[in-house]
Amino acid sequence: MGGLPPKPSMETHNTIQQVATDGYGKLLAIVASKTWDLALAEDALGEAFHAALRQWPIEGLPRAPEAWLLSVARRRLMDEHRRHQTRQNSETSLEIETELAAIAVVDELADLPVIPDERLKLLFVCAHPAIDPGVRTPLMLQVVLGLDAARIASAFLVAPSAMGQRLVRAKTKIRAARIPFRIPEKAEWPERIEFILEAIYAAYGTGWEDVTGMSGSGLSSEAISLARVLVCLVPDEPEALGLLALLLHCEARQSARRDLAGNYVPLAQQDTALWNRPLMEEAEALLHRASTSRQHGRFQLEAAIQSAHAHRAVTGKTNWPVIVTLYRELLLHAPSIGGHVAYAAALHQSGNSQAALDELSTIPQETVTSYQPYWAVTAHALLGLKRLNESRAAFQHAAGLTQDEATRRFLLQQCPPEAKSL
């Protein structure tokens, strides 16, 4: 009989969602490493997930879901390559057969008790010098961590259509240039690691901001996991140590970001007793290891800023002048819109709201039209200067740009009453 396939049970749905959230990048890295074609690997893996939605509700959950998906993706790739082979002349048939043999390795990997993690290789591929520097980090976010183009475009403040085109061109370049899926020689690491660090940080930030669902929490955990893998690969790289320290300090405060009623709690008002001390101690040890290199970089400085915030758990107060100084140094190393906004926030918190507004005024307006943190900091600084109507408008604009309901409520609650004109 025909008709729609049965709806998956809650257990089946949760399993598919968990594999998609936690294992997509790992599975894609395995499939893509056998084809050198990211787009084709994405299509094959996408069909495997669709097959799971159709078959698992009927046949039941497989013993090894990831292995099942790999096998289905492998069959899809085999079919595609055979179709391609029929269109080739005899000169290229040997190349196609070689690729088919390589794809067959996917089945061998699927038989292993633990699926190997090939994501670090894929990160190095995306950071290859042949790829446009401006798309390396977005490409990693999509193919390794599974973010869609629209979400990535929002993080990088560009149009989704433009981001989609850049990602397609980058994947085409990988295929055309036959970039090898491997961890390169150490001499090649320095020019690539910077972009890998940026991608891991962006992934954590995206997940950290998405506090309303498991997808965000899973993405943050994946970012921390990748940061740990990178530190194992390059244990003496100070910026890798700094990045992991930064992520752990942020993760340590996760449980304090909401009160029992689910309301948003800003960092300066969080209960430090809820912070995870073991994660903070690990972060401090990593930051100390990084400092011995005496090579200060962006992620070490960002970790130092979070370390200064963490010190409130010891002293009971935040040393805002130190944080202001650290942000000033950070902007010298790595200027960014987010850095300027955070620096302005620190200036306001240290008691200098006018300096905060002056700093914000240096940012081109067209770049922050839809950047929520800019409007939130602007609103607080205007409120500090008693410019109530302007502050109210900025708070409302910031709330309108916020997807999280708890954060939206918090911003609207900060709105001052409308001042009456004389």
Q: Span 207-232, mean pLDDT?
A: 69
User: 207 is written with which tokens?
Assistant: 């997940």
Note whether 224 and 181 are within 8 A (CB). no
- CA nearest to 272, candidates 303, 318, 305: 318
Domains of the chain as residue ranges with CATH: 1-87+101-116 (no CATH), 123-140+189-244 (no CATH), 297-335 (no CATH), 338-422 (1.25.40)
Amino acid 34: pLDDT = 67
- CA nearest to 348, candidates 249, 419, 268: 268
Residue 387 backbone class (left: φ over 0; alpha: ψ -120 to 50; beta: rest) = beta
Q: Span 94-106, mean pLDDT?
A: 47
Q: Span 325-347, mean pLDDT?
A: 95
d(CA 42, CA 212): 27
Rounded to 10 deg, the angle between the 10-33 and 65-85 helix axes is 50
d(CA 233, CA 407): 38
Other CB atoms within 10 A of residue 30 CB: 27
User: In residues, how long is the chain?
Assistant: 422
Higher per-residue pLDDT: 5 or 21: 21
Tens-place pLDDT, residues 356-406: 999 999 999 999 999 999 999 999 999 999 999 999 999 999 999 998 899
d(CA 282, CA 269): 23
Tens-place pLDDT, residues 237-282: 999 999 999 999 999 999 999 999 999 999 999 999 999 999 999 9
Note whether 378 and 387 are within 8 A (CB). no
pTM, 2 dp: 0.78
In this predicted structure, which of 25-39, 40-54, 219-233, 383-397 has the lowest mean pLDDT? 25-39
d(CA 347, CA 321): 8
User: 147 is written with which tokens?
Assistant: 């973010």
